[in-house]
DNA sequence: CGCGCAGATATAAATAACTTAGGTATGGCA
DNA sequence: TGCCATACCTAAGTTATTTATATCTGCGCG
C-alpha cells in the first residue's frame, strides 16, 4: 500500500496532545519526544508536525507562546488547553476502541 | 481533527487480508465479518470496501472469482494469494510495531 | 574568524485513503 | 407486486500525510 510510514494516519493529534499533557513543549521537542518514548517506532516528520500543531491551535486545543529553550534559543511552546484536555480524552477513548477492535480481528479473524 | 471515523486510516488492507486468510469470502461478507468480530467497533462502508478490494487485487494480494453464496446469489469471492499472505505478515508486523509505539507514548507520555 | 551543522520554524505540491453520496441489480417474502 | 436485504460499483470531495524546499540562529571547530 503506501510507503512504510512511521505513523498511523490520524493518530498524530493524539500523540501531540498526550506529549504536551504534562508540560508545555515546543514542536521540535514534541517530535523528538514521540520518537524517543515510542522506542523509535514512531517518527514525526516536520511536514506532518507543523501543520498538525497549527490545526490543533486553530481548534483551540493548544495555545502557543514564544519562549526561550534551556539552550537559549527562541521556540514556540505549545500548551494544552482545557478543551484540549477534553479532546485528548476523546481521542484516547477512540483509540482504545478502534485499536482493540483491530486486535479482535487479528486474533479471531 | 479526526472526524469520528469507525476505521483507523491505513488498516483496512490488513483487516481485509486477515479476514479472508482462513477462507475466501465476498466483499459484503468481509465487511460484515469485520464489524461483527470487532464487536461493532469497526465499520467498513462500501465506499471504502470496494476500492480497497480492487487495490488488493491489482497488487496481486487477492484473487477474485464469481461464485454463488449459500443463499444462492452471485457474489465475487476474494481469496488470499501467496503474495497476499506475505503482505499480511508484513502488515501485521507493522501494526504491532506502530500500535505498540502509540501504547508507549500513551503510557509514558 | 568564518563555516557548517543541529536546532528550530514553516509552507507548497503531490498522493493515498477515506467519507459521502449516489447508482444498479436480484432473490425472497409479505 | 412491491419492498427490503443482499450484493456490486463509482465519482467527487476532504483530509492527513509525504516529499521537498526554504529560512534563521547559536555553537563548536579549524
Q: Is A85 on the interface with B (CB under 8 A)?
A: no
Chain A partners within 8 Å of B97 (Cβ): 41
Contact call for A38 and B104, based on CB within 8 A: yes
pLDDT digits (tens, 9 = 90+) for A54-64: 999 999 999 99
Q: Is A91 on the interface with B (CB under 8 A)?
A: yes
- Residue A100 pLDDT grade (very low, low, confident, very high; cuts 50, 70, 90): very high
Predicted pLDDT of residue B70: 87
pLDDT digits (tens, 9 = 90+) for B40-83: 999 999 999 999 999 999 999 999 999 999 888 999 999 999 99
The contacts found for B25-33 with CB under 8 angstroms, 24 or more apart, are B25/B77, B25/B78, B26/B67, B26/B69, B26/B75, B26/B76, B26/B77, B26/B78, B27/B53, B27/B75, B27/B76, B27/B78, B28/B75, B29/B69, B29/B75, B30/B78
* pLDDT surpasses 70 at B1: no
Determine the structural domain holding residue B104 and report its residue range. Answer: 4-108
- Residue A2 pLDDT grade (very low, low, confident, very high; cuts 50, 70, 90): very low
**CATH at A88:** 1.10.10.10
pTM of the model: 0.93
Q: How many distinct structural domains can be found in chain B?
A: 1
Amino acid at each position: 500500500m503506501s510507503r512504510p510510514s512511521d505513523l498511523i494516519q490520524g493518530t498524530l493529534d493524539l500523540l501531540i496532545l498526550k506529549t504536551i499533557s504534562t508540560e508545555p513543549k515546543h514542536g521540535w521537542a514534541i517530535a523528538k519526544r514521540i520518537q524517543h518514548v515510542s522506542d523509535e517506532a514512531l517518527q514525526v516528520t516536520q511536514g506532518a508536525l507543523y501543520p498538525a500543531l497549527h490545526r490543533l491551535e486553530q481548534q483551540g486545543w493548544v495555545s502557543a507562546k514564544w519562549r526561550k529553550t534551556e539552550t537559549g534559543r527562541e521556540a514556540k511552546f505549545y500548551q494544552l488547553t482545557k478543551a484540549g484536555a477534553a479532546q485528548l480524552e476523546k481521542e484516547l477513548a477512540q483509540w482504545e476502541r478502534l485499536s482493540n477492535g483491530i486486535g479482535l480481528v487479528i486474533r479471531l479473524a
